Amino acid sequence: MADLEKRNPGEVEYLQAVHEVLASIEVVYNQNPQFERSGIIERIIEPDRVLTFKIPWLDDQGNVQVNRGYRVQFNNALGPYKGGLRFHPSVNLSILKFLGFEQIFKNSLTTLPMGGGKGGSDFQPKGKSNAEIMRFCQAYMLELWKIIGSETDVPAGDIGVGAREIGFLFGMYKKLTHQHTGVLTGKGLAWGGSLVRPEATGFGAVYFAQEMMATRRESLKDKKVAVSGYGNVAWGAVRKLNQLGAKVITLSGPDGYVYDEEGISGAKIDYMLELRASNEDVVEPYAKEFKSGVFVSNKRPWEVPCDIAMPCATQNELEQNDAHQLINNKCVCVCEGANMPCTPEAVEAIQKQGLLFAPGKAANAGGVAVSGLEMTQNAMKLHWQAEEVDTRLQQIMGAIHESCVRFGKQPGGYVDYVKGANIAGFLKVANAMLDQGVV
Protein backbone atom coordinates (compact mmCIF):
# COMPACT_ATOMS: atom_id res chain seq x y z
CA MET A 1 0.00 0.00 0.00
CA ALA A 2 2.82 2.41 0.88
CA ASP A 3 4.39 1.82 -2.51
CA LEU A 4 1.05 2.22 -4.25
CA GLU A 5 0.37 5.50 -2.42
CA LYS A 6 3.74 6.81 -3.51
CA ARG A 7 3.07 5.93 -7.12
CA ASN A 8 -0.52 7.20 -7.17
CA PRO A 9 -0.52 10.26 -4.92
CA GLY A 10 -3.94 11.70 -4.07
CA GLU A 11 -5.91 8.94 -5.78
CA VAL A 12 -8.09 8.54 -2.71
CA GLU A 13 -10.92 6.39 -4.11
CA TYR A 14 -8.55 4.08 -5.96
CA LEU A 15 -6.37 3.56 -2.89
CA GLN A 16 -9.49 2.95 -0.77
CA ALA A 17 -10.72 0.24 -3.15
CA VAL A 18 -7.33 -1.49 -3.39
CA HIS A 19 -6.84 -1.40 0.39
CA GLU A 20 -10.15 -3.12 0.97
CA VAL A 21 -9.37 -5.95 -1.45
CA LEU A 22 -5.81 -6.48 -0.23
CA ALA A 23 -6.92 -6.59 3.42
CA SER A 24 -9.52 -9.23 2.56
CA ILE A 25 -7.28 -11.54 0.56
CA GLU A 26 -4.15 -11.41 2.73
CA VAL A 27 -4.59 -14.87 4.27
CA VAL A 28 -5.45 -16.59 0.99
CA TYR A 29 -2.58 -14.84 -0.73
CA ASN A 30 -0.10 -16.04 1.84
CA GLN A 31 -1.43 -19.59 1.54
CA ASN A 32 -0.58 -19.54 -2.17
CA PRO A 33 3.13 -18.70 -2.58
CA GLN A 34 2.80 -19.11 -6.36
CA PHE A 35 0.83 -15.83 -6.41
CA GLU A 36 3.72 -13.96 -4.81
CA ARG A 37 6.26 -15.59 -7.16
CA SER A 38 4.21 -14.44 -10.16
CA GLY A 39 3.75 -10.92 -8.85
CA ILE A 40 -0.03 -11.27 -9.00
CA ILE A 41 -0.73 -8.34 -6.64
CA GLU A 42 1.72 -6.02 -8.40
CA ARG A 43 0.15 -6.93 -11.74
CA ILE A 44 -3.50 -6.88 -10.71
CA ILE A 45 -3.41 -3.40 -9.14
CA GLU A 46 -1.90 -1.77 -12.23
CA PRO A 47 -4.30 -1.15 -15.14
CA ASP A 48 -3.21 -2.80 -18.40
CA ARG A 49 -3.54 0.63 -20.01
CA VAL A 50 -5.28 3.97 -19.58
CA LEU A 51 -6.37 6.14 -22.48
CA THR A 52 -7.07 9.81 -21.80
CA PHE A 53 -8.13 12.16 -24.53
CA LYS A 54 -9.51 15.58 -25.36
CA ILE A 55 -13.20 15.91 -26.25
CA PRO A 56 -13.95 19.17 -28.04
CA TRP A 57 -17.62 19.73 -28.89
CA LEU A 58 -19.98 22.55 -29.86
CA ASP A 59 -22.74 23.68 -27.47
CA ASP A 60 -26.11 25.03 -28.65
CA GLN A 61 -24.78 28.59 -28.68
CA GLY A 62 -22.02 27.57 -31.07
CA ASN A 63 -19.32 27.83 -28.39
CA VAL A 64 -16.53 25.29 -28.21
CA GLN A 65 -16.48 23.21 -25.01
CA VAL A 66 -13.63 20.93 -24.02
CA ASN A 67 -13.90 17.93 -21.70
CA ARG A 68 -11.55 15.13 -20.77
CA GLY A 69 -12.33 11.55 -21.73
CA TYR A 70 -10.94 8.30 -20.31
CA ARG A 71 -10.99 4.55 -20.70
CA VAL A 72 -9.21 2.39 -18.14
CA GLN A 73 -8.59 -1.14 -19.44
CA PHE A 74 -7.76 -2.84 -16.17
CA ASN A 75 -7.55 -6.60 -16.56
CA ASN A 76 -8.63 -9.03 -19.29
CA ALA A 77 -7.62 -12.38 -17.79
CA LEU A 78 -11.20 -13.69 -17.81
CA GLY A 79 -12.55 -12.06 -20.97
CA PRO A 80 -12.75 -8.77 -22.89
CA TYR A 81 -12.51 -5.63 -20.76
CA LYS A 82 -16.04 -4.87 -19.59
CA GLY A 83 -17.48 -2.02 -17.57
CA GLY A 84 -19.50 1.15 -17.73
CA LEU A 85 -18.94 4.76 -18.77
CA ARG A 86 -19.63 7.54 -16.26
CA PHE A 87 -20.40 11.12 -17.34
CA HIS A 88 -20.26 13.35 -14.27
CA PRO A 89 -18.26 16.50 -13.40
CA SER A 90 -16.60 14.66 -10.49
CA VAL A 91 -15.01 12.07 -12.81
CA ASN A 92 -11.24 11.80 -12.57
CA LEU A 93 -8.63 9.09 -12.96
CA SER A 94 -8.83 8.00 -9.32
CA ILE A 95 -12.59 7.39 -9.53
CA LEU A 96 -12.32 5.48 -12.80
CA LYS A 97 -9.41 3.38 -11.53
CA PHE A 98 -11.38 2.51 -8.38
CA LEU A 99 -14.39 1.55 -10.48
CA GLY A 100 -12.28 -0.40 -13.00
CA PHE A 101 -10.48 -2.25 -10.21
CA GLU A 102 -13.74 -3.21 -8.49
CA GLN A 103 -15.14 -4.30 -11.83
CA ILE A 104 -12.45 -7.01 -12.22
CA PHE A 105 -13.69 -8.86 -9.14
CA LYS A 106 -17.37 -8.10 -9.70
CA ASN A 107 -17.21 -9.50 -13.22
CA SER A 108 -15.30 -12.53 -11.96
CA LEU A 109 -18.10 -13.19 -9.45
CA THR A 110 -20.79 -13.17 -12.16
CA THR A 111 -19.45 -16.51 -13.51
CA LEU A 112 -19.42 -14.97 -17.02
CA PRO A 113 -16.28 -14.45 -19.16
CA MET A 114 -15.61 -10.75 -18.67
CA GLY A 115 -12.51 -8.76 -17.70
CA GLY A 116 -12.65 -5.39 -15.94
CA GLY A 117 -12.60 -1.82 -17.24
CA LYS A 118 -14.24 1.57 -16.78
CA GLY A 119 -14.37 4.87 -18.60
CA GLY A 120 -16.10 8.20 -18.80
CA SER A 121 -15.69 11.92 -18.78
CA ASP A 122 -15.94 14.98 -16.54
CA PHE A 123 -18.80 16.14 -18.78
CA GLN A 124 -21.81 17.59 -16.89
CA PRO A 125 -25.04 16.25 -18.42
CA LYS A 126 -27.18 18.39 -16.11
CA GLY A 127 -28.97 21.14 -18.03
CA LYS A 128 -27.74 20.00 -21.45
CA SER A 129 -30.10 19.72 -24.41
CA ASN A 130 -30.65 16.48 -26.27
CA ALA A 131 -28.62 17.82 -29.20
CA GLU A 132 -25.73 18.72 -26.90
CA ILE A 133 -25.76 15.25 -25.34
CA MET A 134 -25.67 13.76 -28.84
CA ARG A 135 -22.77 15.93 -30.03
CA PHE A 136 -20.84 15.18 -26.86
CA CYS A 137 -21.38 11.40 -27.19
CA GLN A 138 -20.28 11.53 -30.82
CA ALA A 139 -17.15 13.50 -29.93
CA TYR A 140 -16.36 11.01 -27.15
CA MET A 141 -16.70 8.04 -29.50
CA LEU A 142 -14.47 9.73 -32.10
CA GLU A 143 -11.56 8.73 -29.85
CA LEU A 144 -12.91 5.69 -28.01
CA TRP A 145 -13.74 3.56 -31.07
CA LYS A 146 -10.07 2.84 -31.72
CA ILE A 147 -9.63 0.74 -28.60
CA ILE A 148 -13.00 -0.99 -28.14
CA GLY A 149 -14.65 -3.95 -29.87
CA SER A 150 -17.01 -6.82 -29.12
CA GLU A 151 -14.05 -9.15 -28.40
CA THR A 152 -11.75 -6.46 -26.97
CA ASP A 153 -13.53 -4.01 -24.70
CA VAL A 154 -17.29 -3.61 -24.27
CA PRO A 155 -18.41 -0.42 -22.47
CA ALA A 156 -21.89 0.17 -21.03
CA GLY A 157 -23.73 2.76 -18.91
CA ASP A 158 -23.12 4.11 -15.42
CA ILE A 159 -23.95 7.46 -13.77
CA GLY A 160 -25.03 9.90 -16.49
CA VAL A 161 -24.98 7.25 -19.23
CA GLY A 162 -28.24 5.44 -19.97
CA ALA A 163 -30.07 4.12 -23.02
CA ARG A 164 -30.10 7.50 -24.80
CA GLU A 165 -26.33 7.99 -24.50
CA ILE A 166 -25.60 4.36 -25.46
CA GLY A 167 -27.69 4.99 -28.60
CA PHE A 168 -25.69 8.07 -29.61
CA LEU A 169 -22.39 6.33 -28.82
CA PHE A 170 -23.38 3.24 -30.81
CA GLY A 171 -24.50 5.31 -33.79
CA MET A 172 -21.10 6.96 -34.03
CA TYR A 173 -19.22 3.68 -33.54
CA LYS A 174 -21.21 2.10 -36.35
CA LYS A 175 -20.55 5.04 -38.65
CA LEU A 176 -16.81 4.97 -38.00
CA THR A 177 -16.31 1.22 -38.30
CA HIS A 178 -19.11 0.13 -40.67
CA GLN A 179 -19.83 -2.61 -38.14
CA HIS A 180 -23.04 -3.45 -36.31
CA THR A 181 -21.65 -5.55 -33.46
CA GLY A 182 -22.22 -5.97 -29.74
CA VAL A 183 -19.58 -3.39 -28.89
CA LEU A 184 -21.68 -1.72 -26.20
CA THR A 185 -24.30 -3.11 -23.82
CA GLY A 186 -27.47 -1.44 -22.64
CA LYS A 187 -28.50 -1.02 -26.29
CA GLY A 188 -32.06 -0.40 -27.45
CA LEU A 189 -34.19 -3.53 -27.73
CA ALA A 190 -34.67 -3.19 -31.48
CA TRP A 191 -30.93 -3.09 -32.23
CA GLY A 192 -29.33 -5.73 -30.04
CA GLY A 193 -30.27 -4.79 -26.50
CA SER A 194 -31.44 -7.29 -23.91
CA LEU A 195 -34.72 -7.34 -22.08
CA VAL A 196 -34.29 -6.72 -18.33
CA ARG A 197 -30.94 -4.88 -18.74
CA PRO A 198 -32.42 -1.51 -17.61
CA GLU A 199 -33.78 -3.14 -14.43
CA ALA A 200 -30.96 -5.61 -13.91
CA THR A 201 -28.73 -3.82 -11.41
CA GLY A 202 -31.59 -2.91 -9.08
CA PHE A 203 -33.33 -6.27 -9.50
CA GLY A 204 -30.08 -8.12 -8.82
CA ALA A 205 -29.36 -6.08 -5.69
CA VAL A 206 -32.80 -6.91 -4.33
CA TYR A 207 -32.37 -10.62 -5.14
CA PHE A 208 -29.12 -10.44 -3.21
CA ALA A 209 -30.79 -8.76 -0.23
CA GLN A 210 -33.44 -11.49 -0.37
CA GLU A 211 -30.75 -14.20 -0.22
CA MET A 212 -29.06 -12.50 2.73
CA MET A 213 -32.33 -12.13 4.65
CA ALA A 214 -33.11 -15.80 3.98
CA THR A 215 -29.95 -16.80 5.88
CA ARG A 216 -31.74 -15.36 8.92
CA ARG A 217 -35.06 -16.92 7.97
CA GLU A 218 -36.48 -13.54 7.01
CA SER A 219 -38.09 -12.29 3.81
CA LEU A 220 -38.50 -8.83 2.31
CA LYS A 221 -42.24 -8.82 2.83
CA ASP A 222 -43.46 -5.78 4.78
CA LYS A 223 -39.90 -4.59 5.41
CA LYS A 224 -39.34 -0.83 5.37
CA VAL A 225 -36.55 0.03 2.97
CA ALA A 226 -34.59 3.30 2.72
CA VAL A 227 -33.22 3.76 -0.80
CA SER A 228 -30.85 6.55 -1.86
CA GLY A 229 -30.49 7.92 -5.39
CA TYR A 230 -33.29 8.08 -7.92
CA GLY A 231 -31.46 6.92 -11.05
CA ASN A 232 -31.28 3.69 -12.97
CA VAL A 233 -30.19 1.46 -10.09
CA ALA A 234 -32.56 3.00 -7.54
CA TRP A 235 -35.46 2.65 -10.00
CA GLY A 236 -34.87 -1.07 -10.59
CA ALA A 237 -34.45 -1.71 -6.88
CA VAL A 238 -37.67 0.11 -5.98
CA ARG A 239 -39.62 -1.85 -8.60
CA LYS A 240 -38.42 -5.24 -7.39
CA LEU A 241 -38.81 -4.32 -3.72
CA ASN A 242 -42.45 -3.50 -4.40
CA GLN A 243 -42.96 -6.77 -6.28
CA LEU A 244 -41.63 -8.67 -3.28
CA GLY A 245 -43.91 -6.89 -0.84
CA ALA A 246 -41.43 -4.48 0.76
CA LYS A 247 -42.25 -0.82 1.39
CA VAL A 248 -39.80 1.77 0.02
CA ILE A 249 -39.91 4.95 2.07
CA THR A 250 -37.09 7.17 0.73
CA LEU A 251 -35.28 8.35 -2.39
CA SER A 252 -32.51 10.94 -2.61
CA GLY A 253 -30.65 13.36 -4.85
CA PRO A 254 -27.82 15.85 -4.41
CA ASP A 255 -30.44 18.34 -3.10
CA GLY A 256 -31.68 16.13 -0.21
CA TYR A 257 -34.08 13.24 0.25
CA VAL A 258 -37.80 12.56 0.08
CA TYR A 259 -39.62 10.59 2.75
CA ASP A 260 -42.87 8.96 1.70
CA GLU A 261 -44.59 7.26 4.59
CA GLU A 262 -47.19 5.68 2.30
CA GLY A 263 -44.52 3.95 0.25
CA ILE A 264 -43.03 4.63 -3.19
CA SER A 265 -45.07 2.42 -5.48
CA GLY A 266 -47.12 2.43 -8.68
CA ALA A 267 -47.09 5.76 -10.55
CA LYS A 268 -44.48 7.09 -8.14
CA ILE A 269 -41.96 4.58 -9.52
CA ASP A 270 -42.66 5.69 -13.10
CA TYR A 271 -42.17 9.26 -11.94
CA MET A 272 -38.56 8.41 -11.07
CA LEU A 273 -37.90 7.98 -14.79
CA GLU A 274 -39.28 11.46 -15.42
CA LEU A 275 -37.04 12.90 -12.74
CA ARG A 276 -34.01 11.32 -14.34
CA ALA A 277 -34.98 12.32 -17.88
CA SER A 278 -35.38 15.93 -16.77
CA ASN A 279 -31.56 16.23 -16.48
CA GLU A 280 -31.95 18.46 -13.43
CA ASP A 281 -30.45 16.10 -10.81
CA VAL A 282 -32.91 16.92 -8.00
CA VAL A 283 -35.58 14.92 -6.13
CA GLU A 284 -37.49 17.81 -4.59
CA PRO A 285 -40.12 17.83 -7.39
CA TYR A 286 -41.32 14.42 -6.09
CA ALA A 287 -42.74 16.12 -2.99
CA LYS A 288 -44.60 18.60 -5.19
CA GLU A 289 -45.99 15.86 -7.42
CA PHE A 290 -47.12 13.53 -4.60
CA LYS A 291 -48.73 14.84 -1.43
CA SER A 292 -47.48 11.93 0.65
CA GLY A 293 -43.85 12.90 -0.07
CA VAL A 294 -41.93 15.14 2.32
CA PHE A 295 -38.72 16.75 1.05
CA VAL A 296 -35.84 17.13 3.49
CA SER A 297 -33.25 19.51 2.14
CA ASN A 298 -29.50 18.74 2.16
CA LYS A 299 -29.77 15.60 4.25
CA ARG A 300 -29.35 11.90 3.63
CA PRO A 301 -32.09 9.31 4.07
CA TRP A 302 -30.15 7.26 6.64
CA GLU A 303 -31.75 9.15 9.52
CA VAL A 304 -35.14 7.59 8.66
CA PRO A 305 -35.89 4.41 10.65
CA CYS A 306 -35.83 1.40 8.32
CA ASP A 307 -35.30 -2.38 8.32
CA ILE A 308 -33.10 -2.39 5.24
CA ALA A 309 -30.90 0.32 3.70
CA MET A 310 -29.99 0.28 0.01
CA PRO A 311 -27.56 3.03 -1.00
CA CYS A 312 -27.97 3.33 -4.78
CA ALA A 313 -26.53 6.77 -5.63
CA THR A 314 -22.75 7.07 -5.52
CA GLN A 315 -19.46 6.34 -3.70
CA ASN A 316 -18.96 7.31 -0.03
CA GLU A 317 -22.55 8.50 0.47
CA LEU A 318 -23.06 6.54 3.72
CA GLU A 319 -20.56 7.52 6.42
CA GLN A 320 -19.83 6.36 9.94
CA ASN A 321 -22.41 8.60 11.62
CA ASP A 322 -25.03 7.44 9.10
CA ALA A 323 -24.16 3.83 9.96
CA HIS A 324 -24.65 4.58 13.65
CA GLN A 325 -28.06 6.10 12.94
CA LEU A 326 -29.09 2.98 11.03
CA ILE A 327 -27.84 0.75 13.84
CA ASN A 328 -29.64 2.80 16.52
CA ASN A 329 -32.83 2.57 14.46
CA LYS A 330 -32.59 -1.27 14.41
CA CYS A 331 -31.79 -1.63 10.72
CA VAL A 332 -30.84 -5.28 10.02
CA CYS A 333 -29.35 -5.19 6.53
CA VAL A 334 -27.33 -2.79 4.37
CA CYS A 335 -27.12 -3.80 0.71
CA GLU A 336 -24.98 -1.67 -1.65
CA GLY A 337 -26.65 -0.95 -4.99
CA ALA A 338 -24.08 1.70 -5.91
CA ASN A 339 -20.33 1.13 -6.14
CA MET A 340 -18.60 1.63 -2.75
CA PRO A 341 -21.34 3.87 -1.28
CA CYS A 342 -20.33 3.06 2.31
CA THR A 343 -17.08 4.44 3.68
CA PRO A 344 -14.66 1.92 5.27
CA GLU A 345 -15.55 3.30 8.72
CA ALA A 346 -19.26 2.79 8.02
CA VAL A 347 -18.68 -0.79 6.84
CA GLU A 348 -16.67 -1.52 9.97
CA ALA A 349 -19.42 -0.19 12.24
CA ILE A 350 -22.13 -2.11 10.38
CA GLN A 351 -20.25 -5.41 10.42
CA LYS A 352 -19.12 -5.03 14.02
CA GLN A 353 -22.74 -4.75 15.03
CA GLY A 354 -23.54 -8.01 13.21
CA LEU A 355 -25.83 -6.51 10.57
CA LEU A 356 -26.03 -8.17 7.18
CA PHE A 357 -23.79 -6.19 4.83
CA ALA A 358 -23.37 -6.71 1.08
CA PRO A 359 -20.61 -4.90 -0.83
CA GLY A 360 -21.50 -3.44 -4.23
CA LYS A 361 -19.18 -5.72 -6.13
CA ALA A 362 -21.41 -8.63 -5.11
CA ALA A 363 -24.82 -7.00 -4.72
CA ASN A 364 -24.83 -4.79 -7.83
CA ALA A 365 -23.23 -7.35 -10.16
CA GLY A 366 -26.63 -8.03 -11.75
CA GLY A 367 -26.19 -5.07 -14.11
CA VAL A 368 -22.97 -6.26 -15.64
CA ALA A 369 -24.22 -9.86 -15.50
CA VAL A 370 -27.14 -9.01 -17.78
CA SER A 371 -24.67 -7.04 -19.91
CA GLY A 372 -22.82 -10.34 -20.24
CA LEU A 373 -26.08 -12.03 -21.23
CA GLU A 374 -26.62 -9.26 -23.81
CA MET A 375 -23.18 -10.10 -25.27
CA THR A 376 -24.15 -13.78 -25.42
CA GLN A 377 -27.39 -12.97 -27.25
CA ASN A 378 -25.51 -10.69 -29.66
CA ALA A 379 -22.95 -13.42 -30.37
CA MET A 380 -25.73 -15.93 -31.06
CA LYS A 381 -27.75 -13.34 -32.97
CA LEU A 382 -30.73 -14.31 -30.84
CA HIS A 383 -33.04 -12.54 -28.45
CA TRP A 384 -34.18 -14.13 -25.20
CA GLN A 385 -37.55 -13.56 -23.54
CA ALA A 386 -37.64 -11.50 -20.34
CA GLU A 387 -38.34 -14.59 -18.21
CA GLU A 388 -35.24 -16.33 -19.49
CA VAL A 389 -32.99 -13.34 -18.75
CA ASP A 390 -34.56 -12.79 -15.34
CA THR A 391 -34.23 -16.48 -14.40
CA ARG A 392 -30.54 -16.41 -15.36
CA LEU A 393 -30.08 -13.17 -13.39
CA GLN A 394 -31.61 -14.79 -10.31
CA GLN A 395 -29.38 -17.85 -10.74
CA ILE A 396 -26.30 -15.66 -11.05
CA MET A 397 -27.17 -13.61 -7.96
CA GLY A 398 -27.77 -16.86 -6.07
CA ALA A 399 -24.37 -18.16 -7.19
CA ILE A 400 -22.65 -14.93 -6.11
CA HIS A 401 -24.33 -15.17 -2.72
CA GLU A 402 -23.16 -18.77 -2.39
CA SER A 403 -19.55 -17.80 -3.21
CA CYS A 404 -19.66 -15.01 -0.63
CA VAL A 405 -20.91 -17.41 2.04
CA ARG A 406 -18.36 -20.07 1.09
CA PHE A 407 -15.38 -17.72 1.33
CA GLY A 408 -16.73 -15.29 3.90
CA LYS A 409 -18.10 -17.46 6.70
CA GLN A 410 -16.39 -16.61 9.98
CA PRO A 411 -15.76 -19.02 12.89
CA GLY A 412 -18.79 -17.72 14.86
CA GLY A 413 -21.06 -18.16 11.83
CA TYR A 414 -21.25 -14.48 10.78
CA VAL A 415 -20.86 -14.09 7.03
CA ASP A 416 -18.37 -11.40 6.05
CA TYR A 417 -19.65 -10.75 2.53
CA VAL A 418 -16.84 -8.25 1.85
CA LYS A 419 -14.21 -10.86 2.49
CA GLY A 420 -16.19 -13.55 0.69
CA ALA A 421 -16.70 -11.43 -2.44
CA ASN A 422 -13.10 -10.28 -2.57
CA ILE A 423 -11.59 -13.74 -2.07
CA ALA A 424 -13.93 -15.50 -4.50
CA GLY A 425 -13.51 -12.79 -7.14
CA PHE A 426 -9.75 -12.61 -6.69
CA LEU A 427 -8.95 -16.35 -6.76
CA LYS A 428 -10.51 -16.86 -10.18
CA VAL A 429 -8.65 -13.94 -11.74
CA ALA A 430 -5.35 -14.79 -10.03
CA ASN A 431 -5.48 -18.40 -11.20
CA ALA A 432 -6.29 -17.29 -14.75
CA MET A 433 -3.31 -14.94 -14.64
CA LEU A 434 -1.08 -17.80 -13.46
CA ASP A 435 -2.29 -19.98 -16.34
CA GLN A 436 -1.61 -17.26 -18.89
CA GLY A 437 1.99 -16.49 -17.87
CA VAL A 438 3.67 -13.15 -17.29
CA VAL A 439 1.96 -10.81 -19.74
Residue span binding ligand NDP (CB under 6 A) among the ranges 247-255, 377-385, 392-400, 429-437: 247-255
Instruction: Single out the residue of 339, 343, 378, 422 in contact with ligand 2IT (rule: CB under 6 A).
Output: 339
Q: Is residue 250 a contact residue for ligand NDP (CB under 6 A)?
A: no
Cβ-based neighbours of 46, under 8 Å, separated by 6 or more:
none
Question: Minimal distance in Å, beta carbon 313 to ligand NDP?
Answer: 3
Number of chain positions touching ligand 2IT (CB under 6 A): 11
Cβ-based neighbours of 98, under 8 Å, separated by 6 or more:
11, 13, 14, 16, 17, 315, 339, 340
Torsion angle of C-alpha atoms 325, 331, 336, 342, degrees rounded to 10: 20
Instruction: Single out the residue of 47, 83, 162, 167 in contact with ligand 2IT (rule: CB under 6 A).
Output: 83
Instruction: Single out the residue of 82, 88, 224, 239 in contact with ligand 2IT (rule: CB under 6 A).
Output: 82
Q: Is residue 234 a contact residue for ligand NDP (CB under 6 A)?
A: yes
Q: Is residue 419 a contact residue for ligand 2IT (CB under 6 A)?
A: no
Q: Is residue 228 a contact residue for ligand 2IT (CB under 6 A)?
A: no
Distance from C-alpha of 236 to C-alpha of 264, rounded to nearest angstrom: 12
Task: List Cα–Cα distances, 68 to 52, 63, 88, 207, 383, in angstroms.
Answer: 7, 17, 11, 37, 36
Q: Is residue 301 a contact residue for ligand NDP (CB under 6 A)?
A: no
Question: Minimal distance in Å, beta carbon 368 to ligand 2IT?
Answer: 4
Residues annotated as catalytic (active site), given as ranges: 118
Distance from C-alpha of 42 to C-alpha of 18, rounded to nearest angstrom: 11
Task: State the burial class of residue 3 (Cβ atoms within 10 Å of its Cβ: 0-12, 13-18, 19+).
Answer: exposed
Rg (the chain; Cα; Å)? 21
Distance from C-alpha of 160 to C-alpha of 67, rounded to nearest angstrom: 15
Q: Is residue 310 a contact residue for ligand NDP (CB under 6 A)?
A: no
Q: Is residue 201 a contact residue for ligand NDP (CB under 6 A)?
A: yes
Whats the size of the chain, residue-wise?
Answer: 439
Residues binding ligand NDP (CB under 6 A): 84, 88, 90, 157-160, 162, 201, 228-234, 252-254, 276, 281, 312-314, 337-339, 364, 367
Residues binding ligand 2IT (CB under 6 A): 82-84, 106, 156, 158, 185, 339, 367-368, 371
